[in-house]
Amino acid sequence: MVRNIKLKISYDGTQYHGWQTQLNRATVQETIEQAICVVMKQKVNLTGSGRTDSGVHALGQVANFTADTNIPEEKIKIALNSILPNDIRVIDSVDIPIEFNSRFDAHDKTYMYQIYNDNVWSPFYSRYSYFVPVGLEIDKMVEAAKHLVGTHDFKGFMAAGSDVKTSIRTVYETKLIKENQLIKFYINGNGFLYNMVRIIAGTLIDIGKGTKSINCIEEAIINKDRTLLGQTAPAQGLFLMNVNYNDR
């Protein structure tokens, strides 16, 4: 019987060229597909909720595939984890209605960008944060991030060469918290443009440093102008935290 299997996946993206399969490059999607093929003894196509770039991590990526198999849903996770490398783990495996598509049915996603703010970078966070050794004005960063909330044309917040039908997105919530040396920026929305979260994170860092105006985010939304914003923060600080679905 053909079944639709939904996976929740966590991975360290350091050694991978992003999620999406690429020719002659190690990717998360291809690595998981190969493991599924071994377990299911058939070729499958894995659909992810969205792409993550080279070096970006995930705590709650969601993907699905269809396969003709009798393996119990809870055993699929165990079987895949016995084959997958240690930097990719399947957190959950469940049967889902055959029409479910992890990409097109996603309602919203949450990303987190992690900054290590101290005068010496911790070796334990070097793969999982952006090192900023100067003081940051957190209050200004929090205030600037408020301008992101709502439905806007985020054309100024995407990398050059992006190919999208529309750059209009809705941001539902932003949150910035400081835990000792770690600053964590969370953003939840219905979708994000290529490099959008990293551009926002880099801009907030520049605002915290005082090299960008606290109003630059609002001005970039109005003018759709990338040059008004700050740096694109590096990939290793970015995590896809979770993907939510309306009824699943």
Three-state SS annotation for 168-218 = EEEEEEEEEEEECCEEEEEEEECCCCCCHHHHHHHHHHHHHHCCCCCCHHH
- Closest Cα to residue 3, out of 34, 30, 29, 36? 36
> Annotated catalytic residue: which of 53, 87, 108, 225?
53
Question: Are 235 and 115 found together in one domain?
Answer: yes
Question: Are 81 and 125 found together in one domain?
Answer: no
Give the pLDDT score at 66: 97
Give the pLDDT score at 247: 63
The answer to whether 108 is a known catalytic residue is no
Of 73, 96, 119, which one is at a domain's C-terminal end?
A: 96
Six-digit token string for 168:
């209009």
Give the pLDDT score at 1: 87
Question: Are 113 and 234 found together in one domain?
Answer: yes
Give the pLDDT score at 246: 82
Evaluate whether 219 touches 205 at the Cβ level (below 8 Å): no
Considering the domain boundaries, does residue 224 fall inside one? yes
Considering the domain boundaries, does residue 63 fall inside one? yes
Domain interval for residue 72: 2-96
Considering the domain boundaries, does residue 103 fall inside one? no
Q: What is the pLDDT along the chain (248 residues), one digit of tens a residue?
A: 899 999 999 999 999 999 998 888 999 999 999 999 999 999 999 999 998 999 999 999 999 999 999 999 999 999 999 999 999 999 999 999 999 999 999 999 999 999 999 999 999 999 999 999 999 999 999 999 999 999 999 999 998 777 788 999 999 999 999 999 999 999 999 999 999 999 999 999 999 999 999 999 999 999 999 999 999 999 999 999 999 998 64
Question: Are 117 and 168 found together in one domain?
Answer: yes
To the question of whether residue 111 is assigned a binding role by annotation, the answer is yes
Question: Are 80 and 118 found together in one domain?
Answer: no
Task: Give the burial string for 132-156 (b: 16+ CB within 10 Å, else e).
Answer: beeebeeebbbebbebbeeebebbb
Question: Are 126 and 211 found together in one domain?
Answer: yes
CATH number of the domain within which 142 lies? 3.30.70.660
